[in-house]
Structure 1
Amino acid sequence: MKQNRVVITGLGAVTPLGVDTDSSWQGAIAGESGIGPLTRVDSSMFPMKVSGEVSSDFDITKYVEKKEARKMDRFTHFAVAASLMAVEDAKLEITEEIAPRTGVWIGSGIGGMETFEQQFRTFEQKGYRRVSPFFVPMLIPDMASGQVSIITGAKGINSCSVTACASGTNSIGDAFKVIQRGDADVMITGGAEAPITDMAVAGFCSAKAVSTSEDPNNASRPFDLNRDGFVMGEGAGILILESLDHAVSRGARIYAEIVGYGATGDAYHVTAPAPEGEGGVRAMKQAIEDAGLAPEEIDYMNAHGTSTPYNDKYETMAIKTVFGEHAKKLAVSSTKSMTGHLLGAAGAVEAVFTTKAIVEGIIPPTINYQTPDPDCDLDYVPNEARKQEVRVALSNSLGFGGHNATIVIKKYEA
Structure 2
Amino acid sequence: MPVPSARIYLILILLALSLQGCRRASEAEGPPTLGWYVFKEQSGAFEQAAEYCSNRSQGRYRLELEYLPTDADLQRELLVRRLAAGDRDIDLIGMDVIWTAEFAEAGWILPWPDDRADRVREERIAGPLASGSYQGRLWAAPFTTNTQLLWYRTDRVSAPPPTWDAMIDAAESIGRGGLIQAQGERYEGLTVFFVSLLASAGGSVLDESGRRVSLETAPTRRALEVMRRLARSPASDPSLASRREDQCRLAFESGNSAFMLNYTYVWPSARANAPEVAEHMGWARWPGVDPSRASRVTVGGINLGVGAHGRHPDLAFEAAECLVSEENQRLAARLGGLPPTLSALYDDPEIRDVFPFAEVLRATLADAVQRPRTPLYSDISIAISRTLHPLNEIDPERDVERLRQAVRRALNSEGLL
TM-score range, shorter chain: under 0.3
TM-score (structure 2 length as normaliser): 0.24
TM-score (structure 1 length as normaliser): 0.24
Greater percentage in strand = 1
Mark the structure with the bigger radius of gyration. Answer: 2
Greater percentage in helix = 2
